[in-house]
Amino acid sequence: MTQIEGLERLLAEHPFFRDMSQRARDLIAGCAANRVFHDGERLLREGDQADVFYLVRHGAVAVEVQAPGRKPLVLETLGDGEVLGWSWLVPPYRVQFDGRAVGLVRALAMDAKCLRGKCAKDPALGYEFLSHFVGVMAERLTAARLQMLDIYGHPGDYMEMSQGLTGEDSAPAKPSPTGG
Amino acid sequence: MTQAAPGLAWNPMIADAMLPARYRVDAIRRELTGVFTLALVPVDGGDALTFAPGQYNMLYQFGVGEVPISLSGDPACPRPLVHTIRAVGTVTNALQHLASGHMVGLRGPFGTHWPAEAAQGADLVIMAGGIGLAPLRPLIYQVLANRKRYGAVCIFYGARTPDEILYRDELEQWRSRFDLTVEVTVDRAGPDWLGRVGVVTRLLAAKGFSPPDTIACLCGPEIMMRYAVLALRDQGVGPERIYVSLERNMQCGLGFCGHCQFGASFVCRDGPVFRFDGIAKRFDIREI
Amino acid sequence: MPDTLLISTEALQGLLDALIAKGYQPVGPRLERGAIVYETLSAASDLPRGYLDEQGGGHYRLSKADPSSPETAGIFRYAVGPQSWKGFLFPSRQSLWRARRTETGFAFEPETDDAPAYAFLGARPCELAAMRIQDRVFQEGPYVDRGYAERRARAFVVAVNCTRAGGTCFCASMGTGPRAEDGFDLCLTELLDADDHAFLVEIGSASGRALMELVRHRTATPEEIERGRRAITDAAEQMGRRMPPDAAAILASNPEHPRWDQVAQRCLSCANCTLVCPTCFCSRVEDTTSLDGVEAARHRQWDSCFTLDFSYIHGGPVRRETAARYRHWITHKLSTWHAQFGTSGCTGCGRCITWCPVGIDITEEVAAIQATERAEPLGDE
């Protein structure tokens, strides 16, 4: 029991669970386990069954995608207080991206199978849980879209946008001795 | 209407603000691909040009044209005048090929500045995207020179890739200081990048500042600033405590040419630095 | 010398002679290419006689007055043509400076302004208002446009009150006409009927008074002054258009109105309105070099917010849509101009209506937004 109590405290402190109901936290505490990952270890691997997700307590996790013939591409990094993994919510429960520890990572591993079961039995809990996750997903989607815009990119590369006042030509280039 | 007889002598009180002064390139430094820094010293003597962080000069390349470029050096050491420039058009591409000893024209400094004095006593969030760090660097220098007058100081910087981080050495120096929070994030990276990947607005979650007591200064693409303003407001930083630097077509710097109008403001004269509450409504109007 | 004098039609030549004797270059209305334009006058006979203008949305025609009517002798019975005095005080293209390569780099050579001292003959009240508005822009802000200030200070203004309204005039609703209150050295009112043709002359400045010493005149009678007053009142009553008095607020509060897209379907983005407008002041800077690269120059020339280039920041223009460009122009003219310069940017001269190829009417656009605002109030109150 002492370990469960410790986990309850950790859950209560974690920003993701902080504003969830006490009841919800109590119910899910049983599905949580404290984990430590060393630099380079994978918390999640693309293609695996999504039976676990993590609440990052300390450290950074790189969410990345592997492609043949090139280095893995880091899509985003998650840090203290963030949630890693939401594929466990959506059938067929398959992990979409790798999650790799960058340096030492302390995290709470949540048994997703156990949670799915509890959510299915208790729709109120399920709803509360889902609302929290939808918030996280919406945030990630917005962030991903902003990244996709490539707002710092060079003009014409993708989006015709610029940054700041500095270094910007304020007039169009003209095909004549007239300057821009 | 006649105020004097025909043949009135030229009134020396009226400065011809469209005539540049001659400056010489003291040094040119390649910062990133297509991004370079020009250090300029005056040719014809005269008083040293003083400037406030956030202001800009109009730089003239002989026969090619003129562009507005923010000052990016230390306001306490205005000689040489330092400008970081990205080569994106005719003039900036020409400026890129200058070498030490070459001559340029310079008018300025123009425009409004960051609230370095007004922010004293407050926490300071300095958020930059891409080359938007350049117009904020003078503010960082000024704040560091008077570090005790400010509360917590956070520098949040977003770049496209690790290779496109501007002033990387300085960011690392600042990061090693105990009295600064420096967070850098990039939009995309390979596995050898140990820093953060993700949009710059997410850095605000790092806290390290007290929102109600914070002054935020933002410079970067307008999209970035729009989302940063939302994120800051969510955190509790009021619009009257947020400052943004805008970019518009600027040709004269004096409010005459009309190109830079943003609602009732001439960005060249009433900006480029605006307190957000003054422009919040306009910020949401498309193509204004 | 009393403040209101009377001169004969013949004395107009004396007036021109006096201006020339004082060193001015008289500029005034002439008939050119089917329109009344402002050009150098060498004699009073250069002035148009017996011409009436017919103006409407996208419509301008000059016609000869009926030979049997007194109008046939009238000189200032037209309203305003496509040009304004802006072209003299703020030339459409001017050199700002030149630069020349030297062994160590280059050297700047400031441009000297060799414009003569102009005497504007025939400036209408709305045009005096336009000059006052451009004074605010070019010489009463934090920076002064040297060239403008010099030309303006040296100019002599002979205004002419309007005794006939043009088809697109709405100066009465802008408070700028049809009578000139001030801003002139001399102001003429044309008295014209079957058996009499003369001009009342009001003195507006010491220079004006000095000039009249050189021109044959007599004191105007109270009856003549009253005739002038009535003729001006007639012009005010002829105006078929008016600008809603709260145009500034209407536009400021409707940046997202559907009318913008409607007007954009008609607007050709041709920039005519900005070029004929007597107050539009936007310009662009152009840098050029000689072919051998030895000499460079900078010019400033009129620009228009209707061009796509106007708001260009590298990557693209800020105002891509015609709707946004039209909104910018009219909102600037009638609304944000107040914040910038403490005055409306519109004088009610009607040129933008007349010279718009599709006849877009600035007063109608404001009224349309105002009308729909009333019909469908925003919000639930």
Q: What are C145-197's pLDDT values in tens digits?
A: 888 999 999 999 999 999 999 999 999 999 999 999 999 999 999 999 888 89
Interface membership of B12 toward C (CB under 8 Å) = no
3-state secondary structure of A117: helix
Between CA A12 and CA A18, with CA A16 as vertex, the angle to 5 degrees is 35
Q: What string of H, E and C letters represents the secondary structure of chain C?
A: CCCEEEEECCHHHHHHHHHHHCCCEEEEEEEECCEEEEEECCCHHHCCCCEEEEEECCEEEEEECCCCCHHHHCCCCCCCCCCCCHHHHCCCEEEEEEEEEECCEEEEEECCCCCCCEEEEEECHHHHHHHHHHHHHHHCCCCCCHHHHHHHHHCEEEEECCCCCCCCCCHHHHCCCCCCCCCCCEEEEEEEECCEEEEEEEECCHHHHHHHCCCCCEECCHHHHHHHHHHHHHHHHHCCCCCCCCHHHHHHCCCCCCHHHHHHHHCCCCCHHHHHCCCCCCEEEEEEECCCCCEEEEEEEECCCCCCHHHEECCEECCCCHHHHHHHHHHHHHHHHHHHHCCCCCCCCCHHHHCCCCCCCHHHHHHHHHHHHHHCCCCCC
The encoded tokens of residue C287 equal 């840098």
Q: Do C315 and A179 touch (CB under 8 A)?
A: no
Point out the residue among C287, C289, C313 whose CB comes nearest to the CB of A168: C313
Closest-CA residue to C223 (of C187, C196, C204): C196
Q: What are A95-141's pLDDT values in tens digits?
A: 999 999 999 999 999 999 999 999 999 999 899 989 989 998 998 99
Q: In whole angstroms, how far apart are CA B122 and each of A14, A89, B143, B211?
A: 29, 43, 11, 10
Do residue B59 and residue B129 come from a single domain?
Answer: no
3-state secondary structure of A147: helix
- Domain limits at B40? 21-110
Do residue B149 and residue B213 come from a single domain?
Answer: yes
If one counts every other C-beta atom within 10 angstroms of the C-beta of residue C165, the result is 23
- Domain limits at A10? 2-149
What's the number of domains chain A is made of? 1
3-state secondary structure of A87: helix
Q: Please report whether residue A177 resides in a domain.
A: no
* Contact present, B53 and B112 (Cβ < 8 Å): no
* Contact present, B90 and A156 (Cβ < 8 Å): no
Q: What are B135-182's pLDDT values in tens digits?
A: 999 999 999 999 999 999 999 999 999 999 999 999 999 999 999 999
Give C291's contacts in chain A (Cβ within 8 Å).
Answer: 177
Domain edges within chain C: 4-238, 247-375
Do residue B89 and residue B153 come from a single domain?
Answer: no
Q: Please report whether residue A154 resides in a domain.
A: no
Confidence of residue C307 (pLDDT cuts 50, 70, 90): very high
Give B131's contacts in chain A (Cβ within 8 Å).
Answer: 152, 163-164, 166-167
ipTM (interface pTM)? 0.91
pLDDT of residue B14: 40
Q: Do A143 and B221 touch (CB under 8 A)?
A: no
| Segment 89-148 of chain B within 8 Å of chain C by CB | 89, 102-103, 105
Interface membership of B194 toward C (CB under 8 Å) = no
Interface membership of A124 toward C (CB under 8 Å) = no
Confidence of residue A177 (pLDDT cuts 50, 70, 90): very low
Interface membership of A177 toward C (CB under 8 Å) = yes
Q: Do B10 and C110 touch (CB under 8 A)?
A: no
Interface residue of B92, B187, B201, B268 to substitute, partner A, most A CBs within 10 Å: B187
Give C313's contacts in chain A (Cβ within 8 Å).
Answer: 162, 168, 170
What's the number of domains chain B is made of? 2
Do residue B35 and residue B132 come from a single domain?
Answer: no
CATH number of the domain where residue B199 is located = 3.40.50.80
Q: Give Rg (Cα) of chain B.
A: 20
Do residue B27 and residue B70 come from a single domain?
Answer: yes
Q: Give Rg (Cα) of chain C.
A: 22
Q: Do C312 and A171 touch (CB under 8 A)?
A: yes
Do residue B165 and residue B224 come from a single domain?
Answer: yes
Point out the residue among C288, C314, C315 whose CB comes nearest to the CB of A177: C288
pLDDT at C117 over 90: yes
Interface residue of A163, A176, A178 to substitute, partner B, most B CBs within 10 Å: A163
pLDDT of residue B23: 96
Backbone angles phi, psi at C300, to 5 degrees: -120, 130
* Contact present, C54 and C65 (Cβ < 8 Å): no
Interface membership of A154 toward C (CB under 8 Å) = no
Residue of B nearest to A73 (CA): B190
pLDDT of residue A5: 62
Q: Please report whether residue B95 resides in a domain.
A: yes
This prediction has a pTM of 0.90
Give A164's contacts in chain B (Cβ within 8 Å).
Answer: 70, 128-132, 134-135, 219-221, 245, 247
DSSP-assigned beta bridge partners for residue C188: C160, C201
Q: Between these two residues, B67 and A17, which has the higher pLDDT value?
A: B67
Point out the residue among C291, C309, C315 whose CB comes nearest to the CB of A155: C315
Q: How far is B28 from chain C (nearest CA, A)?
A: 17
Q: Please report whether residue B277 resides in a domain.
A: no
Q: In whole angstroms, how far apart are CA A24 and each of A15, A90, A129, C292?
A: 14, 20, 8, 80
How far is Cα B46 from Cα B106, in angstroms, rounded to an integer? Answer: 14
Q: Please report whether residue B282 resides in a domain.
A: no
How far is Cα B243 from Cα C253, in angstroms, rounded to an integer? Answer: 24
3-state secondary structure of B138: helix
| Segment 239-268 of chain B within 8 Å of chain C by CB | 247-249, 251-252, 254-259, 261, 263-264, 266
Give C207's contacts in chain B (Cβ within 8 Å).
Answer: 2
pLDDT of residue A154: 58
Do residue B44 and residue B128 come from a single domain?
Answer: no
CATH number of the domain where residue A20 is located = 2.60.120.10
Q: Please report whether residue A170 resides in a domain.
A: no
Q: Do B264 and C339 touch (CB under 8 A)?
A: yes
CATH number of the domain where residue B106 is located = 2.40.30.10
Confidence of residue C316 (pLDDT cuts 50, 70, 90): confident
Alpha-carbon A81 to chain mean position: 10
Confidence of residue A3 (pLDDT cuts 50, 70, 90): low
Backbone angles phi, psi at C364, to 5 degrees: -70, -40
Do residue B153 and residue B179 come from a single domain?
Answer: yes
Q: Please report whether residue A167 resides in a domain.
A: no
Do residue B36 and residue B142 come from a single domain?
Answer: no
Q: Are strands C312-313 and C295-302 parallel, antiparallel or unpaired?
A: unpaired
pLDDT at C271 over 80: yes
Residue of A nearest to B197 (CA): A76
Q: How far is A118 from chain B (nearest CA, A)?
A: 31
Q: Do B288 and C256 touch (CB under 8 A)?
A: no
Do residue B56 and residue B153 come from a single domain?
Answer: no
Residue of C nearest to A170 (CA): C313
Point out the residue among A165, A172, A174 whose CB comes nearest to the CB of B247: A165
The encoded tokens of residue C169 equal 């005039």
Neighbouring subunits of B (3+ Cβ pairs under 8 A): A, C
pLDDT, average across residues C243-252: 95
**Which residues have CB under 8 Å from C66's CB, separation 6+?**
C72
Confidence of residue C375 (pLDDT cuts 50, 70, 90): very low
pLDDT, average across residues B74-100: 95
Confidence of residue A71 (pLDDT cuts 50, 70, 90): confident
Q: Please report whether residue A156 resides in a domain.
A: no
Do residue B92 and residue B199 come from a single domain?
Answer: no
Lowest mean pLDDT among A146-160, C19-33, C192-206: A146-160
pLDDT of residue C195: 83
How far is Cα B268 from Cα C188, in angstroms, rounded to an integer? Answer: 42
Q: What are C344-362's pLDDT values in tens digits?
A: 999 999 999 999 999 999 9
Last residue of a domain, one of B207, B226, B245: B245
Do residue B145 and residue B240 come from a single domain?
Answer: yes
* Contact present, B110 and B47 (Cβ < 8 Å): no
Residue with tokens 């060393």: A38
Residue with tokens 């955190």: B235
Q: In whole angstroms, how far apart are CA B172 and each of A87, B157, B166, B182, C60?
A: 36, 12, 11, 8, 69
Q: In whole angstroms, how far apart are CA B213 and each of B99, B118, B121, B235, B242?
A: 45, 12, 9, 11, 11
